[in-house]
Structures are given as C-alpha cells and as structure tokens.
Amino acid sequence: MNPLEINLNSTVKLNNGVEMPIFGLGTWDLRGKMGYQAILWALEAGYRLLDTAEVYGNEKRVGLAIKDSGIPREEIFITTKVFNTSQGFENTLKAFQESLIKLDVSYIDLYLIHAPATNLRLDTWKALEKLLDEGKTRTIGVSNYTTKHLTEQLDHYSKVPAINQVEFSPFLYQKDLLDFCNSHDIVLEGYSTLTKGVKLNNQTLIDIGKKYRKSTTQILIRWGLQHDVIQIPRSGNKDHIYENADIFDFQIKDDDMLTLDCLNEDFRAYGLDPNSYK
C-alpha cells in the first residue's frame, strides 16, 4: 500500500484475489443496544469492515445493524471467527452455520480460526478449506498464530491463510511475524492497536501527535496502516469512531515511524500469549 494514496475506501488484495478493506471496526464487547448503535455509527462514518466472533456474543446485533443501515450486504466485509471450544472438523462446520444464522447472512467474507487450539487447529483448518471450496466464505485465515503455528500449517496444507489477525502496536511490534507473513503472502491484521488505552499517555506518542496535530489514537492507527497492517480499532463512542477514521490526511515520516517502532516492550493489552498454544 502506498501511504500517500490510501483512504477510507482502500482495500488490499488477499492471496486468493478477494479485496478486503484496510480499515474497519472491531466489535469485541460491543453488545446490546449500545453495541448496535456503535456499529450503525461506524457504517454511517464510512466503515465497511466489521470484525466479530462467535465468542463475542454479538453476531445477532452486528447482523441487525447491517440490515438496518440500508447498506447493501455486498458492500460490507464481515469477519467472524470460530472459538477454541468449537474447534475440530465437524464442530467448526456447525459453528459456522450458527454464525450465519445469527448474522442473518448467506455468506461470510472472512472466516478465521480464533486461536491455534492445541490438537484441534489442523482439523479446524480442514473445515475452513471445505467452507471456502463450497463458497460459504469468500476467504479464510487465522488469528493469534505465531510463526511456529503458521509453519506447521503450511507444512500440512496447500491453502495459505489469507489473514493472520494478531495483537499489534508499537508496544508489541512483532516485526519478525510481520516479515514472515509478508514473505508468505499472508496479510497481517492488527487488533488492540490502541492498547486498550493503557499507553495513550506515553510521552513519545503525545509528542509525535502534537507534531502532526493528531491524537495519540490516530497516530497509533496510522502507524499500523503504514506497516501495511489492517486496522480494526474498537470503540463504542461516536466521536471516537469518527476520530479513528480521520487518519488519511497525513503521513508519518520515516524517522517518526522508526521512533514508534522502538517503543516495543512486548506489551500485550489482553495478556494472551499465543506462544502458550503448543
């Protein structure tokens, strides 16, 4: 992606030819009426990528918001995920069908394995390949996979994941994983780029934000995009939803990108270390 040319409508071509928006809304913990309203605000603001999951418990709300928005289904890119407790070949096929029913759609754009569950992930991937071959999902991928998990999968299956969704921020700058994915035509998608707000008062972030007249959240999101990492910041606040999308009118200079890269301290906002999956 050319950072000078990207905008809210920009997409990236995945390894099976599907075009995916580079920016969207993460919906973790967006439940009930407030979650429904947040999704409507995001769609109103121009978001066209919505990221949900079986375990989030909000697929019905996501589907209802899409329907009530009046935006044609084909203009919205829906991602959902199969959780660990539903993994395995048959269980995954069942979980996928349940997600379709909750979302009230006829297909999913991107279906992910939520985490590399030990002893289950390979059979789960086999189920995803079946769903892809049957046209029930347009593309498939994984989440929270390390290079070890990816290497294992590439050794067993010919279909390469289109996406690896992982926690990714300047404070968890997983450069080796990013390089590995790039070398295997896997697009990295980052969650928790905003660190759940924990690092927003970092002085380096504040100083760079002042330089570009942007908030620290906008700097974090823009940093991710300039590393060619899809961004899905989560917010239930209307002003923040609009602010998060206002990151296409500036470019972080190379020296400031390097400064942000150097903030890495292996900080995980959610505490989930994928290396724990053997």
DSSP for 155-196, please give it. HH-SSPPSEEEEE-BTTB--HHHHHHHHHTT-EEEEE-TTGG
Quick one: tokens of 87?
């993994």
CA 189, CA 161: separation in Å to the nearest integer? 12
229 dihedral zone (left: phi>0; alpha: psi -120 to 50; beta): beta
CA 188, CA 61: separation in Å to the nearest integer? 26
Cβ neighbour number for residue 17 with a 10 Å cutoff: 9
CA 153, CA 201: separation in Å to the nearest integer? 39
- 107: annotated active-site residue: no
- Long-range contacts, stretch 33-40, CB < 8 angstroms, 24+ apart: 34/236, 35/61, 35/236, 36/61, 36/64, 36/65, 37/236, 38/235, 38/236, 38/237, 38/238, 38/241, 39/65, 39/66, 40/65, 40/68, 40/69
3-state class of 197 per DSSP? Answer: helix
Closest residue by Cα to residue 193 from 225, 151, 236, 145: 225
| Candidate list 56, 111, 145, 173, residue with the active-site label | 56
Catalytic residues: 56
